[in-house]
């Protein structure tokens, strides 16, 4: 499977994270690493799987600094 990582950073920082991870991987394995945001993980995996309903509820209701933690609704 693909390794998932998100530091919730801007695109420049995302690129540096990907470059950093790629520096540890053999060239033929670099395509296996993909950077996803928490929102992308929610849309692509969590929301679609009924077995992850508790995680979906958590992500939908998580707050941060008196606001929604994730931009998923």
- Examine the domain organization and report whether 41 and 55 are in the same domain: yes
- Examine the domain organization and report whether 23 and 47 are in the same domain: no
d(CA 4, CA 44): 12
- Examine the domain organization and report whether 42 and 73 are in the same domain: yes
- Examine the domain organization and report whether 48 and 24 are in the same domain: no
- Examine the domain organization and report whether 42 and 17 are in the same domain: no
Chain segment 58-67, per-residue pLDDT in tens: 999 999 888 8
pLDDT band at 34 (very low <50, low <70, confident <90, very high): confident
pLDDT of residue 70: 86
Question: SS3 string of 7-64?
Answer: CCCCHHHHHHHHHHHHHHCCHHHHHHEEECCHHHHHHHHHCCCHHHHHHHHHHHHCEE
- Examine the domain organization and report whether 2 and 30 are in the same domain: yes
Contact status, residue 44 vs residue 12, Cβ threshold 8 Å:
no
Closest CA to 38 of 16, 6, 10: 6
Q: What domain range is 50 assigned to?
A: 37-73
Residue 7 above 60 pLDDT? Answer: no
Number of domains observed in the structure of the chain: 2
- Examine the domain organization and report whether 49 and 29 are in the same domain: no
Residue 10 above 80 pLDDT? Answer: no
């Amino acid at each position: 499977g693909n390794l998932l990582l998100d530091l919730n950073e801007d695109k420049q920082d995302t690129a540096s994270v990907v470059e950093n991870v790629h520096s540890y991987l053999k060239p033929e394995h670099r395509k296996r690493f993909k950077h996803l945001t928490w929102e992308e993980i929610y849309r692509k995996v969590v929301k679609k799987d009924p077995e992850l309903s508790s995680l979906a509820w958590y992500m939908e209701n998580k707050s941060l600094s008196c606001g929604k933690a994730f931009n998923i609704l």
